């Protein structure tokens, strides 16, 4: 039996998939398209610990008054099933949950939302600190796709929302 199709076999597909620098430890200039500017930083520079290693991707409010931050990478996904994108995330928002406008965060494959929180606020970010998430992207197995993480804030108020990302990998098992 092919180990890539076995439900009992666990493997990390990152090296076979073309996903580069999923843990960001190769530094800010390898593998990722970062808009509107640099998004990969040393976690200690922000006074926090990375989920693993030293580098993280920071998407969110900056002093330049940005309202949208995008981290993306074009990859050819392994042609295996099941296929999960696993990551560590620390999501935070200062937005109140009782207003009519919200910040948002999403993960997209070729522009299609795999997960999108369009009402990002203090009560629905998953709590303080790092947590692990897994997204089933089996329907895209074998395809060349654009993986995109994006956060946006409304321009109505100055309250900030941000996401820290770390340890992004592809696997046949969710975390």
**Residue-by-residue pLDDT tens, the chain, 175 positions:** 333 333 333 334 444 445 899 999 999 999 999 999 899 999 998 899 999 999 999 998 776 666 789 999 999 999 999 999 999 999 988 877 777 777 889 999 999 999 998 887 776 666 678 999 999 999 999 999 999 999 988 766 667 788 999 999 999 999 9
List the beta bridge partners of residue 165. 57, 89
Look at residue 104 and tell me if it is in a domain: yes
Residue 89, SS3? strand
Look at residue 147 and tell me if it is in a domain: yes
Other C-beta atoms lying within 10 Å of the C-beta of residue 33: 12
Look at residue 54 and tell me if it is in a domain: yes
Task: Specify the number of domains making up the chain.
Answer: 1
Q: Does 38 sit behind a cis peptide bond, omega within 30 degrees of 0 on the bond before it?
A: no
Q: What is the DSSP code string of 31-63?
A: S-EEESS--EEEGGGGTS--SSSSEEEEEE--T
Residue 93, SS3? strand
Look at residue 13 and tell me if it is in a domain: no
Look at residue 3 and tell me if it is in a domain: no
The CATH number covering residue 112 comes to 2.60.120.260
Look at residue 35 and tell me if it is in a domain: yes
Sign of the torsion angle spanned by Cα atoms 11, 15, 16, 19: positive
Range of the domain at 42: 18-171
Q: What is the pTM of this model?
A: 0.85
Look at residue 98 and tell me if it is in a domain: yes
CB 86 within 8 A of CB 169: yes
């Amino acid at each position: 039996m092919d180990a890539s199709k076995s439900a009992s076999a666990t493997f990390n597909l990152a090296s076979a998939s073309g996903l580069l620098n999923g843990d960001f430890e190769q530094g800010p200039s390898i593998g990722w398209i970062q808009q509107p500017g640099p998004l990969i930083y040393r976690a200690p520079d922000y006074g926090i610990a990375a989920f693993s290693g030293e580098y993280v991707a920071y998407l969110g409010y900056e002093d330049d008054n940005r309202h949208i931050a995008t981290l993306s990478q074009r990859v050819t996904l392994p042609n295996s099933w099941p296929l999960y994108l696993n990551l560590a995330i620390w999501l935070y928002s200062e937005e109140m949950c009782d207003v009519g406008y919200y910040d948002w965060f999403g993960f997209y494959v070729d522009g299609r939302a795999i997960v999108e929180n369009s009402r990002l606020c203090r009560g629905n970010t998953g709590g303080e600190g790092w947590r692990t998430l897994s997204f089933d992207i089996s329907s895209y197995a074998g395809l060349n796709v654009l993986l995109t993480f994006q956060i946006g804030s409304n321009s109505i108020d100055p309250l900030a929302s941000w996401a820290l990302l770390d340890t992004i990998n592809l696997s046949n098992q969710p975390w």
